[in-house]
Amino acid sequence: MADTYFVEPDLDFIDEVSALGGSDLKKCFQCATCSVACPISPDTKPFPRKEMIAASWGLKDRLIGNGDIWLCHNCGDCSTLCPRGAKPGDVLAAIRSYAIKEYAVPKKLGEMVNDPKKLPILLAIPAVIFIVLGVITGLLDFTPGGSEIIHDHFFSTWLVDLCMIPASMWAVVVFALSLKRFIADIHANALLEGKTKKEKIEPIGFVQALIKIIPGILKHDKFNECGENQDRTTPHMMVLFGFIGLFIVTAIFFVTLYIFQIHGPYSQLNPVKWLGNIAGVSLVIGSGLMIKTRLTKKDEVSTYQDWFLLGLAMGLGVTGLLSEMTRLADLAWFSYTIYFIHLIFVFSMFVYLPYSKLAHIVYRTVAMTYKEYSERT
């Protein structure tokens, strides 16, 4: 006798997925074309057909804790070949957006980050924090003066780090809390669906799996397997390496300043400065190409979460380069203003990262690591 399962649909979840870009979900009639068409779907328990079925039934718990929604790179092959126009790629992207909001805490902040009406408030928060702390500590000087433009004279490095270090720690703590639940959920889901035979996760083995998949992530191997939107590979790599390059530069200059006590501005011939400029240009060009793609491909769903990420990446790159260019051009107050805006973008990236689409970098990496660790073919 077959087992009996009680299914209780979450109608609010279905509505939320539709609002986040999965509005064509109900067109799916489970033909499995999407799973056959997907070039990166695993041989065992392939996606996205089973996710489309679960989403149609409103099975939230079976989806947000499902690592397979993150293995999808939304290349568009399944959506193009879907005979009903259900757009499985967009549906999975909507579920991922929901999952990010579900795992990150506090959820109220997550709701604000994903609400376009709250954007002015989100940007005003770091601006107020910088000014208030600067005035209280005396580390903000509105009359820097001097013959040479030095951003540190206007906005002390101590004040920058007084704001940025807690902001970065905030992101780390939120991700730590979120990933603890996320990993437990994807493991429980994998056991339930028979995707793994491992009863528990061993930390050493998991780290080894992470190290093993990193080269593939850096080379964007999965993107290259996609056919419909393979041209997205280069812009994504430019943005990824832009962020990596800027992180390396920031880390080096942090050590240079606090360990070796060497203050900026640094020479334009400095190789680390060159790396920073190249990374900044890569970030701007990559995000610009991604924006162009979003604007030209009308058949693909673009949500506020997509534009928030692209706007943040573009804003970081443009204001960073402009603050340097205006400093070299001796445009004092313009340079100081742009630098202040740049700091607002940097602070926003750290604090709002766990709640935005940019968090997919972390969740997808963990999901790919788990797939490798579970030895799923």
Q: What is the mean pLDDT of residues 213-229?
A: 83
- CATH 1.10.1060.10 in the chain is located at 11-103
> CB–CB of 373/201 below 8 Å?
yes
Where does the pLDDT of residue 104 fall: very low under 50, low under 70, confident under 90, or very high at 90 and above?
Answer: very high
- Cα-only R_g, the chain: 23
Give the domain 11-103 fold. Answer: Fumarate Reductase Iron-sulfur Protein; Chain B, domain 2 (1.10.1060)
Q: What does the buried/exposed string (b/e) look like for 85-116 if buried means 16 or more CB atoms within 10 Å of the residue's CB? A: ebbbbbbbbbbbbbbbbbbbeeeebbebbbee
Give the separation between CA 28 and CA 65, rounded to whole angstroms: 22
CA atoms within 13 A on the CB side of 210: 11
Residue 305 has pLDDT above 80, yes or no: yes
Chain center to CA of 175: 12
Residues 6+ apart with CB under 8 A from 36: none
Q: Give the tens place of pLDDT for each residue, 12-69.
A: 889 999 988 888 898 998 898 999 888 888 888 888 999 999 999 998 988 998 999 9
Tokens linked to 286: 């990559």
| pLDDT for res 155 | 86
**Rounded alpha-carbon distances, angstroms, from residue 265 to 12, 13, 62, 164:** 53, 51, 52, 19
Residue 1 has pLDDT above 50, yes or no: no
Share of the chain above pLDDT 90, in %: 57
Give the helix ranges, DSSP H, for the chain: 11-17, 33-37, 49-56, 60-64, 68-71, 77-81, 88-103, 107-113, 119-137, 151-154, 157-193, 203-219, 221-225, 233-258, 271-296, 304-328, 332-352, 360-373
| pLDDT for res 5 | 59
| pLDDT for res 231 | 77
Residue 2 has pLDDT above 70, yes or no: no
Give the separation between CA 280 and CA 242, rounded to whole angstroms: 6
Give the separation between CA 209 and CA 198, rounded to whole angstroms: 14
CA atoms within 13 A on the CB side of 326: 18
How many C-beta atoms surround the C-beta of residue 347 within 10 A? Answer: 22
Give the separation between CA 24 and CA 17, rounded to whole angstroms: 10
| pLDDT for res 146 | 67
Residue 3 has pLDDT above 70, yes or no: no
| pLDDT for res 94 | 92
